[in-house]
Amino acid sequence: IKKMKEAIKRLRDWANRSNPPSAALHKRATNMQRALDRIEKLDRPKIDVKKMAIDFEAHDRSGKDVIVLEDVAKGFGSKNLFDQVNMLVQYKDRTAIVGENGTGKSTLLK
């Protein structure tokens, strides 16, 4: 309704600024005002919003080590992707796993 009132005001303003003043725009604004007056105004329904009972409390870190790999190996049949991989990733470390396609980067992460 607020936007429609603003549109009616703008339309009347345009009608008054035109030279000579536009009777057609005045008529359109009047018709819009009549339609707005006929609209039945309803109150918004009150919805009872239920809140989820979830508790996300931050607890102390259980340790500084995030990923620890010791002598990890993986292969498919006779194809060995990697062997004797050792890796330690600690909290706040930045790590990149770099290699050619098919060398087992994604398999290592999985």
Taking residues 43-47, what's their average pLDDT?
82
pTM of the model: 0.41
pLDDT exceeds cutoff 80 at 91: yes
Give the span between the Cα atoms of 74 and 53, in whole angstroms. 43
Q: How many domains does the chain have?
A: 2
pLDDT category of residue 71 using cuts at 50, 70 and 90: very high
Residue 46, domain member (yes or no): no
**60 falls within a domain:** no
Whether residue 69 is contained in a domain is answered as yes
Is residue 92 situated within a structural domain? yes
Domain housing 81: 65-109
Looking at the fold, whether 34 and 69 belong to one and the same domain comes out as: no
> For residue 51, is it within any domain?
no
Is there a domain that residue 16 lies in? yes
Mean pLDDT of 10-31: 81
Residue 23 lies in a domain: yes
DSSP class per residue in the chain: -HHHHHHHHHHHHHHHHSSSPPHHHHHHHHHHHHHHHHSPP-PPPP--PPPP----PPPPPS-SEEEEEEEEEEEETTEEEEEEEEEEEETT--------TTSSHHHHH-
Q: Is residue 12 part of a domain?
A: yes
| Res. 70 pLDDT band, cuts 50 70 90 | very high
